[in-house]
A and B are shown apart, each in its own frame.
Chain A
């Protein structure tokens, strides 16, 4: 079946990086191929490659042009990308607590109004989702999730906010997100999690990896405060589900 997959496009990103593009749109099959190429590259390192960055639809490969040229690297990447997809393995699964609404999710009511339903119903649909970390980007630990319920998909805010809080759980377009650090955002803020997907002096520093599965569950705001303090002290808080 993989033999029928179209080869990815090799797009130069300057003289020291190449974008291996599998799709122009958000598409789960393309994301699977991105993550498979990322794994294949880790398993069979190419001399001169310094770093790879998976995104929804492409793998950005940084390299040293003093060690390998664009054409030679491109050939090797295309060969790796043409390998059959490995059988699906049990991805890691995280259960992430979220305090929805109120001061922690200032857009929950507006989202409910826009979708002609109640805040509780929005929360129910959000926690019912089975999400995948498609990529991590923008700022440390910001996990972009695929798998948002179609009924929750709505365009981003007209006016992006210049600052949204650390731990924000939000939705934007067809994406859902776990944001770790305070950052600008044009997404709709449903709640906050005490979980730090990035914390400097904790092991591991980064909690989530592209390919991990994620589900959410609701906690009350008092629990949020307690868990937030524990998380600040270095606890992971997120529950890892063993498959």
Chain B
């Protein structure tokens, strides 16, 4: 058993996973990683289940030290400079920290959240099947709060598996796609057009509960008080001041402001990774398109093991490895059941 010591860390950094499902009817929100694709990519690199618990690192820098043994980790998500004792570590790769070594992450160069997955996962006590931190409800394990310098995670000793990289689909730079509703009828056509045609920026006061949007004021047709109803990740509600708020993973499970639109599942992580101050637009899509995109997004996550490559070579050459009599080792290093070469969709 090794330890991973949080040597330094900024705000908005916590243990997160696929979230806590099934208790929204009691007011318990889902929480979980803000960017599920990056969560799954980091986990896949260390042969974990896609939605296993990882460290979600906020926009500021952080450093992690291995103690009592080596620790194998992987990073994916918001790009940043990373190094071990001055030797650079690439995004979307795994790397093994020897006992005593420290992995240092710089500020996010764009986006907000980087995911640090640890081989063997994070040990903790799940509640409703999740270790995700929900500070307001006092939930999360091993620490029911954001991480602080000095915290320690007990983790598995590194397996010695060869390091991998993952080839992720090129991220889209297009508009954030939304489905209008559920309360788009609380806005007239001019204000719906204003919402869809304007440039928006995410306010620096945003957090895991909600992203506040800066842009023109959106006016309601019948006032801003509606009877509370349920919310989802990506609900865009418009409070009295007309400044929309996109509800994120730590949202209240119900809300009393009209919701003009909902970010499609495939784009919630992209919105989460939009840096404060960066201009972007929304685009309305049809239900059929949104559901197609949701299915493709789920398929991309399922296909992540097919996107693993040896960290050393541009493409893993099974024949060459076989010739060198190390193929068995390479194959067993990742889950043999999911290891497929050249199975790109």
| Interface hit among A46-54, A122-130, A219-227 | A46-54
Instruction: Given the known inter-chain contacts A57-B229, A137-B228, please indicate yes or no for A14 contacting B179, CB distance below 8 A.
Output: yes
A177 to B26, CA, bound (A): 14
In residues 58-75 of chain A, which contact B (Cβ within 8 Å)? 58-60, 62, 65-66, 69-70
Q: Which residue of A lies closest to B22 (CB)?
A: A51
Interface residue A216 (Cβ < 8 Å from any Cβ of B): no
Pick the residue among A12, A138, A141, A183 that contacts B179 (CB under 8 A): A12
Report B's interface with A, CB cutoff 8 A: 21-28, 127, 136-139, 179-183, 226-235, 252-255, 259, 262-265, 287, 290-291, 293-295, 298
Greatest chain B CB density within 10 A among A16, A38, A140 is at A140
- Cβ-based interface call for A32 (8 A): no
Q: Is A198 an interface residue (CB 8 A)?
A: yes
Question: A interface vs B, CB < 8 Å?
Answer: 11-17, 19, 21, 23-26, 38, 50-60, 62, 65-66, 69-70, 135-142, 144, 181, 183, 198, 200, 205-206, 210
Could you say which of B139, B181, B233, B254 contacts A53, with CB atoms under 8 Å apart? B254
B291 CB contact (under 8 Å) in A15, A24, A183: A15
Query: Residues of B contacting A19 with CB < 8 Å?
Result: 182, 229-230
Chain A residues with Cβ below 8 Å from B291 are 15, 65, 69-70
Sample of 5 more A-B contacts, CB < 8 Å, known A65-B265, A66-B295, A137-B252:
A24-B226, A51-B25, A59-B230, A198-B27, A200-B138
Q: Are B234 and A137 in contact (CB under 8 A)?
A: no
Known: A13-B232, A14-B234, A181-B137. A54 touches B262 (CB 8 A): no
A198 to B28, CA, bound (A): 10
> Which residues does chain A contribute within 8 Å of B294, judged by CB atoms?
15-16, 65-66
Smallest CB-CB A-B distances: 4 pairs: A60-B230, A137-B254, A14-B262, A11-B182
Q: Which residue of A lies closest to B296 (CB)?
A: A66
| A144 to B229 alpha-carbon distance, docked (Å) | 12
Q: Which of B22, B25, B137, B231 contacts A210 (CB 8 A)?
A: B25
A55 contacts B259, CB within 8 Å? no
A140 & B232 in contact (Cβ 8 Å cutoff): no
Residues of A within 8 A of B227 (CB): 23-26, 55-57
Given contacts A136-B26, A138-B253, contact A11 B181 (CB under 8 A): yes
Which residues of A have CB within 8 Å of B234?
Answer: 14
Cβ A15 vs Cβ B228 within 8 A:
no
A135 and B27 CA atoms in complex are apart in Å by 9
In the bound complex, CA of A25 to CA of B225 (Å): 11
